[in-house]
Amino acid sequence: MDAEISQDARGERTPALSRREFVGTVGAAATVAAGTVLTTKTAEAASAGVTVQYAMLIDTRRCSGCQACSVACKAEFDVPLGATRSWVEYVEKGAYPNVSRNFLPRLCNHCSEPLCVSVCPADATHKRKEDGVVVIDPDVCIGCKYCIQACPYDARFINPKTGAADKCDFCLHRVKEGVVPACVNTCEGKARIFGDINDPNSEISKRIASNPVTVLRKGQGTKPNVYYIGADHADETDATNGQYVNVTTHREQAERR
């Protein structure tokens, strides 16, 4: 739809904002007002050679399973039907009437020791030195699926549009502009915190320091950079070992696409 023509204070005809431009402007203003702008690394840290490692903390106690994060991710990247970059798993426990459902948001863990990087024969997958985000170059990827098999977190898939491996990249295009990932911005329960865990003054570092946290499949040795507060475990023994177990992966269910 073409932009309409309006008059400014001097009576000159100027093009008005289109609907798309207006929504974008309002959205950007709302993002800033909501406090979802990332803080940059301090000059002191930069001069000291401290590298950035972006990470995400998910407080499952605040997750209602609304799937808003999954929808936001789909919309942000135009993810094809049948594929997901971010999704929410659940586990049901108990017997009627004493039952409960616990939710576990999932995404790429952007590991410090990613297995997907080491197995890629084309060097299409790499971990960015400047911020620790694990990315895929779709123009280099040959679609061999080695990385999909190597990932302990079921985070990757072959994009049917590109034929290349695909996954969450922490919304790198947003982060580069100082804005948090779409899933963080859209979470109604404020269950997600994103930032630099190498910065002790960042919100995510403070939250991790003040809460008991766990990671998925710690025994794999990949050193995940997605942390959880209150993640449901099969029993107390598993919890103390930092393992998340006994949760069915629901990402391939047709009704959840």
User: What is the maximum alpha-carbon separation in the chain?
Assistant: 74
**CATH number of the domain bearing residue 51:** 3.30.70.20
Query: Is residue 228, in this structure, part of any structural domain at all?
Result: yes
Top pLDDT among 147 and 100 is at: 147
Query: Is residue 117, in this structure, part of any structural domain at all?
Result: yes
How are beta strands 125-127 and 98-106 bridged, if at all? unpaired
Number of domain units in the chain: 1
In the prediction, which pLDDT does 38 show? 67
Q: What are phi and psi of 170, to 5 degrees?
A: 60, 25
Domain that holds residue 153: 43-256
pLDDT at 205 over 50: yes
Question: Which of 116, 124, 200 lies closest to 164 in space, CA to CA?
Answer: 124
pLDDT at 48 over 80: no
Whether the CA torsion 235, 239, 245, 247 is positive or negative: it is: positive
Query: Is residue 76, in this structure, part of any structural domain at all?
Result: yes
pLDDT at 199 over 90: yes
Q: Over the stretch 14-28, which tens digit does the pLDDT of each residue have?
A: 445 444 444 444 444
Query: Is residue 222, in this structure, part of any structural domain at all?
Result: yes
Query: Is residue 7, in this structure, part of any structural domain at all?
Result: no
Query: Is residue 15, in this structure, part of any structural domain at all?
Result: no
Mean pLDDT (the chain) is 80
pLDDT grade for 247, boundaries at 50, 70 and 90: very low
pTM of the model: 0.77
Query: Is residue 18, in this structure, part of any structural domain at all?
Result: no
pLDDT grade for 82, boundaries at 50, 70 and 90: confident
